[in-house]
Structure 1
Amino acid sequence: MPILCASHLKKYYGKDENLVKALDNVNVSVDKGQFVAVIGTSGSGKSTLLNMLGGLDVPTSGSVQVEDQSIEKMSEEQLTVFRRRRIGFIFQNYNLIPYLTAYENIVLPVRLDGKKEDKGFLKEIVQFLELDKKLQNYPSHLSGGQQQRVAISRALVSKPAIILADEPTGNLDSRTGDKVIDLLKMTSEKFSQTIVMITHNSKIAEKADVQIRIEDGKIRS
């Protein structure tokens, strides 16, 4: 059964001769536990699609259902709670809080829910991503690759049902990028997580269970 479903999704900007169809009647269905790669060039619409699936942007028309809930009908407050509890985001620009340490950034989603992190699982993640000696560093004292790995750890630590990843290996060297994909696959299998990852790298996309190609706002076979 699909855990994530986009139906007749459209996102238009501008009007008349300046109309831009970022997404044009897109239909996507993702089953629970699948690892899906959305591949496309810059400007193809893949980031727009990811934002729609995560409720970070509102479609011009169409619907997005996550676990049988239509997220476009939720209030902003409902969406905020839903995203924090059910979806883990890996952003291309990291979105780390500069005055929090790496450790504090990682555990933030769990603590916002008034819960305690699974320290065993957290240790497993940070050791796998070679962050265990950087946890007390602030983002400004981390390299771009290290900040990306902190963002990945933050998305995984609450064991969300769905992980939406925007170019998670884009700022990493090939060895670390391979480790990140291996970690995503491991957590997906271990916790039956669903992962939707966007990438422009065909070799990275080949490691997913399913590949979806998007061009000019349309899904291509």
Structure 2
Amino acid sequence: MKEGPDISRIAALIGDPARANILTALMAGKALTATELAAEAGVTVQTASAHLGKLEAAQMIACRKSGRHKYFTLAGDDVGHALEALMGLAAVVGHLRTRTGPKDLALREARVCYNHLAGAKGIALYQGLLRRGALVETGEAVTLTDVGAEVLTKFGIDINALRRSKTPLCRSCLDWSARQTHLAGSVGRAVLAEILAKGWAERVTGTRVIRFSPAGTRSFEEMFSP
């Protein structure tokens, strides 16, 4: 007797190269139109629309209208975590894209993982908060401590507002490029937003890359290294 959830439908949806490229593009956390996603997938707009319909029916993406346009995003954090985990598995077993270059190195250094910081900088953030006692790991569960709440409040994050949200404060997310943990959840999202607001880093247009300035790197290390 077969038991548990049926993963075959989700696997088949992700397994199509065009749909995989669409989902990867949405990992940047920005809402994109069918035309933009068609360009990312390398297909016609009509074909992209068919793919988007299937992904929306499976509740992997969400659609909202603004004026005459429809914008698509990932359906939620769980979809982003699943995709990041699959990227990690693909890296482990050697299924890597053949074309590498400066963008690949930049992605490994710092990038958006749906709505939080990933790459070497994301791992450094997570490890720094652990060493300072701001986070505590219990298996795969991650908890923000009182020390962590104080540290992040000084950084400029309204922890009380985050606690009122339905989103978990902290979640661990396995980084595909290094197979180490970085910080997700509402705290992870808020930290990235504050880093960008402070001007320590900027998003590179049309990519998932987060580029830190030299001054921003120094400030990041001073803030999050013990």
TM-score normalised by L of structure 2 = 0.30
Larger fraction in strand: 1
Larger fraction in helix: 2
Highest RCO, 1 vs 2 (Cα 8 Å, sep ≥ 6): 1
